[in-house]
Amino acid sequence: MATKRCKDCHNTYLESEFPVRVKDSATSKKGEPTSACRSCMDKANERRKNNAKKRQQPGDNDDEDEHSLDPMAFMDFLEAAAEGIEVPNFEMKARIEPGNIAPLHLDARKRADVIAEIAGERMMLHWTHAVQHLAYIDIDLPDHWKEYISKHARYQTPGEIWRHIVREELQGRSVTEVDLPYRSKAVYYYWHVVSRGEWKLADNPLESARTYIQRAKEHHVALMDVKAEPGTDVVAFEVVDFMREWAANTQELAMDSTWNTNGGNFELFAAVADAKGSGIPLAFLLISTTKDANKGAKEAVLTRFLSQLKKAGVNPEYTLTDKDWSEINAMRTTWPRSKHQLCFWHALRALKQRLTKNKDTPAFYNVSKARREFEFIKQDFVPYMQQSDTALVPDPPANPLRRVRLLINGRPSVITPALPKIVLPPSQARHVPAARMDTTRAEALEVFDVEASVGQGLRPSEPCRSGQDLQDDDRSDEGMYWADRAERQAAGDDEDKGWDGEDDWEEVEDDLRRQVDEFANDESNIDEDTPSDESETGQKTKKPEYQFCPPAHRLSILRLFAKHASQHSLLPERHGEKRTKDDIRRDAVEEIYRHCEVNNLCEVWAYLWNSWYSRERWPLWARGAYSASIPCKRTTMMVEALWRNLKRLVLHMYNRPPVDLAVHAIITKALPPYRLTLRRLLRNDREGRAQALTTMQESFKRAWERLMKVPIKGTYTTDVNRWTCDCGAQKYHAYLLCKHLVQATETPPAIWWVRVQRFHIPPFYTVPIDGKIAPPPEVTTKHAWLSRMPRFGLSDSGSDDASAQGSLKHAGAPGESANAFPASEAQADTSEESEKEDESMLPALAVSRSESSPIDSSPHKPPPTGRDGLLRVRAGGSAGFTLDDEDDVDVDEHVRLLRRAADIVEEQHDLGAEDRFLKNALRATRSAVRFAREIEKHEHRRTMPITNTHERGQAAPSNVIGYKYNTRR
C-alpha cells in the first residue's frame, strides 16, 4: 500500500488515513486526498468551530479578543502589551506616536525599519522544535576572513581572495581533514558589501559613477563635460596623465565601442592613441539610448566627446573607426582635415557578409553618374532589376574565369586608361605560358581585349615585348607563375586571382594576403542570420535562380578589395610605374569592373560601386586616397586589445556590474598596466641595463627574422635609403617589409632593435647603411605632421577650430542607393577642381550628410571576428597584461574537449533542443568538421597528393598539404 506524509503532524500513514477532498482548492482538486491526515483534519475542524462560537458570543469575551487603546507613545504601547495582557490569543489596536524613536524627517521605509527593530527587541518569543532534525551548519564566513576581505578588498578581486582562502585552509590537510562549509559566493557577497562603500556613492548608478570620477583624483582621471541628448544618458571621463603626456603626440587616433561591460545596457566607447605601436586609452564614454532619442543623438554626443579631446590638444593626422556612421561622422566633423581610415578588418567583414546574402539584390545603381567619371563603364552593365528585356546580362559562370597575365619586360603592365593601348599580335600569343591553361576543355578566360580596350599599355617611349616563358628550374619572382603552386593551378583552381607580388606570401605570417585568405575561408566570422543593411539592398526579385554572388567568386572579390585597400603612391608596384592617388583609384575601379564584367557579376559591381568605389566612398577605406603619408595602423586592433584586456582580465570577475562598479573597475584595474606601458615609452627605466623591446618592436623583430630565411630568386629595384622595393609585396606587409629589403640591409646592431620606429613617410625605417644610421625623416611629436595636411593654418595647432567644424559634407551610409542624394553638376565640378589643388588634399565630398540612429547602428554592428569577440592580430595594443589563453591545451585535453563537444551536440539533439542552439553548435564546430572532411578526402585519394589536392572549383585543403600526416593503414 502507498504511504503519505501528513503536512501537520509530519507522520507517515497509509493513503487510506487521508480523507478525500469534497471540493476544489487552490492547490488540489475535488476527489484527491487531503494533505493532512484524518486526525489532524478533525482537530482543525474542531478549532474552526470553537473560534466561530467565540466570535458569535457577545459580552464579556469581547475585550479578551480585541483591546482598543487611546493614542499613546510607542514605548508605552510596548509596555502595555507586555505587562497588562495575559490572554493567549488577543488583538490590540492603538495609534502610536513614534516621537524621537522614528523622527518624521526620515522616509517611510527607514521609520518602519526603526520601529520593527525596537519591537523585535521587546517581543518575548519562545521557539521549540516540534520535529527533531540535524543541527544546521554555520556557513557564514569566519570573522578573521571577513577582516582579511575588509583589508584587501581594494587591491584583490573576489576570485583572488577566494583562491587565497582555499590555499590557506587546505594547506597540509588531507581530504578527510578539510572543513570548508562556505563557498566562493560568500566571499563575493562580503567583498561586494565591503567594497561598495568605495564606488557606490549614490542610489542612481550613473550619479554614483560621476561622483566617483570626481573624487578619484588619486587615479588621475577627470570628468568630461559632455552634454547628453534627449533620450540618452552619458558619463565620460579622461585619463589626465595620459592626455598630458601624449595628447600633442597623437598622430593616429582610433575609436570603437563594445557592449556587455555593465548591467545597465550602456555602450562603452574608448578613444585610443597610437604610441609607438602600442595603444594608450585617452578617454572613455558610456552612453545609453532609449526609444525617445532622436535620430543622430548618439552622433551628436560623440562629436561633443571628441571635441573635448581636440580642445585638450589632440589633433591627429589619421582617425580610425569601424563601419558605424555615427563614429565616422563624429570623427570627420571634429577633425575635417585628418585622413579617416575605416578599420580594414571591419570593412572586409562587411564585404564578406554582404556577398553571402545571395538572394538580396543591390540598391539602385546610378550608372550615368559612374559613366561620367569612367568612360569604360558600360551603360547596360546594370543589376538584374534595372536591365531591359533586350539587354540581359548572362548568369555568372560556375567558377571565376582564369586570367591570362601580360608581361612586359618580365613585369605586368599597369592599367592606366590615359596611356596608349597595346596590340598583341597573334604571332606573340604563343608565348603565353601553357602551364596557365587548362587544355582538357575549352573555356572562356578573363583577359582584357587588348585590341579594343583603352585601359592597358606602356609609356610610348618604352619598347613592347611579349611575355616571357620561363623554365621550371629558372622561375623567378619576376615571372609571376608561382612555381610551388603550378600543379594546383593546372588542376583548375586559380588561387592567384586578385593577388600580385611575390609567390611565397603564404609563408609570411604578417602578409595581408595570407591573413585575408584565412579570413575568407573561415566560416565562423559571418552570421548567416544577420539581415543585410536596408541601404545596401533593393527590391525583392521573383527570379528563382537569382544569385547575388556565387560562392566560387567571393574569394577573388575579397582579394581585389584587399589589394586596392593596400596600394599607395609612396609604395612602388611591380610594373615600375609611378602613380598618383588619382591613378590608383582609376586603375582600381577599372580592375574590379573588368573582373565583374567578364564574370557577369553585375549585381556585385553595383554594390561595390555604391558602397566602396564611388568618389564619396573611396577615401574612407583606401589608404591610397591620402598621398602625403601612410598610417602605421590600418585596423582598430589597439582598441580591440583594450576590450580584450578589460573583458577577459577585469570585468569577467564581476557578474553584470552596475555602471559605477564598471567605471571603478576600468579606472582601478584596467588602466594601471597602460600607465606602466606609457611610462616605459617616455623614458627608459632600466638605465645601465639592456632595454626591453616594446610590443611593436618584438613583433617587428620576429617578422624581420622570418623574412631573413625566405630565399630570393629574382632581382628588383630595392632602395634601402628610401625603404622601398618594387616587388609588390611591401604594401601587404604589416610593417612595410619585404624579403628583398630585409636581406639587403646590413646586420643591425643590438641597440638598433630598441630604437627602431616606424615612420609615415620614406624612409619608413632608418636602417644602418655603411655603419651609419640616417636621421629620422619626420618628427612625430608636437603636431609636427600638421604642416603636410591639407589646408594647414595656425588655428589648427591644437585649439578647437570652429570654422572648420561642420564644413565637411559627409558621405551617405555604406550601401546607400546612389540616387538617394543626387549630386548636382555644379557639385561634381567643384569636387573635381578641389582634387586638382594639391595632390595631398583629401577629395571633397559632394553628397548630403549621413545621419545615424543612436538605437539601430551600434547594436546591429557586425560583431568582431574571434570567439571572444576580438580579432587575432599581432601588431599593437598590448598594455603589459599576461593573458591566460584558454586555447593553450595539450593534445589529450584537446581530444577530450572535442569528444565532449560531439557528445553535447548528440545529447541536445536527442533531447529535442531548440533549433537555434543546434544551429549555433553546428556553426561553432564547423572548422573541426571541415578538418575531418579534408583528412578523409586525403585518405581516399587515388593519385599522388601533389596532383589531387582538391576538386575543381573547391578551395585547396589547408590541413593536409605541407604537413606530415601518417595515413591510417
Angle between helices 891-910 and 915-924 (to 10 degrees): 160
585-609 pLDDT, tens digit each: 999 999 999 999 999 999 999 999 9
Residue 392 amino acid letter: L
Rounded Cα–Cα distance for residues 3 and 17 (Å): 9
> Checking DSSP bridges between strand 66-68 and strand 91-93, what pairing results, if any?
parallel
Rounded Cα–Cα distance for residues 64 and 176 (Å): 59
864 DSSP 8-state letter:
-
Neighbours of 772 (CB within 10 A): 7
Backbone angles phi, psi at 783, to 5 degrees: 60, 30
Neighbours of 182 (CB within 10 A): 18
Which residue, among 52, 612, 110, 700, has the nearest Cα to 347 in the 3D structure? 612
- Cβ burial, residue 350 (10 Å; 0-12/13-18/19+): buried
Residue matched to cell numbers 602605421: 632
Contact 260, 242 (CB under 8 A): no
| CB hemisphere CA count around 89 (13 angstroms) | 6
Q: How far is CA 556 from CA 513, 550, 600, 609, in A?
A: 12, 11, 14, 16
> Checking DSSP bridges between strand 221-223 and strand 12-14, what pairing results, if any?
unpaired
Contact 379, 600 (CB under 8 A): no
Residue matched to cell numbers 628550374: 473
Angle between helices 74-83 and 108-122 (to 10 degrees): 30
314-340 pLDDT, tens digit each: 999 999 999 999 999 999 999 999 999
Which residue, among 710, 641, 647, has the nearest Cα to 875 in the 3D structure? 641
Which residue, among 99, 111, 36, 108, has the nearest Cα to 73 in the 3D structure? 99
Rounded Cα–Cα distance for residues 188 and 154 (Å): 13
Rounded Cα–Cα distance for residues 533 and 814 (Å): 9
Backbone angles phi, psi at 768, to 5 degrees: -65, 130
What are the grid coordinates assigned to 66, written together?
480585541
Its sign, for the CA torsion 79, 82, 86, 92, is positive
pLDDT number for residue 687: 78
pLDDT number for residue 57: 64
What are the grid coordinates assigned to 358, written together?
545571395
Neighbours of 661 (CB within 10 A): 24
Contact 610, 818 (CB under 8 A): yes
Length of the chain, please? 969
Backbone angles phi, psi at 810, to 5 degrees: -100, 155
- Give bridge partners of residue 3 from the DSSP assignment: 14
Rounded Cα–Cα distance for residues 831 and 929 (Å): 52
Residue 840 amino acid letter: S
Rounded Cα–Cα distance for residues 555 and 517 (Å): 8
Rounded Cα–Cα distance for residues 528 and 673 (Å): 38
What stretches in the chain show pLDDT beneath 70? 1, 25-27, 54-100, 104, 121-130, 404-509, 791-889, 940-969
Residue matched to cell numbers 603636431: 783
- Give bridge partners of residue 92 from the DSSP assignment: 67
Rounded Cα–Cα distance for residues 49 and 55 (Å): 10
Residue matched to cell numbers 593534445: 891
Its sign, for the CA torsion 202, 204, 207, 208, is positive
pLDDT number for residue 124: 59
Contact 821, 815 (CB under 8 A): no
Q: How far is CA 640 from CA 17, 186, 339, in A?
A: 70, 34, 21
What are the grid coordinates assigned to 599, written together?
564574370
Rounded Cα–Cα distance for residues 829 and 537 (Å): 29
Rounded Cα–Cα distance for residues 723 and 718 (Å): 8
- Give bridge partners of residue 91 from the DSSP assignment: 66
pLDDT number for residue 848: 37
